[in-house]
Structure 1
């Protein structure tokens, strides 16, 4: 029996305490798994910022008619958001598992109310990822 696809949607914001401070925020839809999945990022008015697709051996960033390939999911997410977000661990965090990521500390205490916060303390600069989400029906 095939496994149901995991899917979440909501808002994400990322603040990187660099000089100058970098911020990124978007509406998102995340589907799949750390191995094969997609992440769509849009503005609050519905304009597509980027579509990310990954599968074994492939990581693609689609921005309008432009498609770029990356060596890994980590490189792909950094190109799309400007910071290294641990997407593989994000799937576990959203499912309530405190999957460890070096330098990151996830706060899963508000998952039941659809909130997740994760802090990256190392390497510098510090990063603060905040997600407000709802789980989408399995497809």
Structure 2
């Protein structure tokens, strides 16, 4: 569940290198935690990811720590698909897919920029120490030079996603 959300955040820059082109393949490790609500327990996942493409068309592979692919999300235009061992499900967009999987919608269009250490140009942002705030999320880039990005949404339920990208 939460693994999907974290994976979407996992495309941060690599150690000691410039941010990759927008269509680069990014891979690494991630973790995601969603706090409990009155109706749902807290959720926490971790694993590996491979993110390819752009916000307009791409693919995300989610794997166990041992490398077995657990799920594959694909998207193009206004459609998204999630393939698991239980089959494939179509969604109208990635936001809806993340809402179904996580119980929370993630700002997928913005994530591609956030993971590259920059605010999404689609709306205003505000610089804060160590990163920036945008769309109700705080993006922590304090360890960006080491390949780490953390995104935190304080609004309930709080969501924390941490990603470490493998050097390319």
Instruction: Pick which of 29-38 and 71-80 moved more.
Output: 71-80
**1:103 to 2:136 alignment:** yes
Superposed, 1:107-118 pairs within 5 Å as: 107-118=140-151
Superposition TM-score, scaled by structure 2 size: 0.71
Q: Which has the higher contact order (CA 8 A, sep 6+)?
A: 2
* CA contact 2:26–2:165 (8 Å) conserved in 1: yes
Aligned length, in residue pairs: 133
Instruction: Pick which of 38-47 and 87-96 moved more.
Output: 87-96
Could you say which structure has the higher strand fraction?
A: 1
1:69-123 superposed Cα distances (whole Å, 9 cap, x missing partner): 011111223334554333322210122212354221111222211100010112x
Cα RMSD (Å) of the superposition? 2.0
Correspondent of 1:11 among 29, 41, 59: 29
Instruction: Pick which of 100-109 and 45-54 moved more.
Output: 100-109
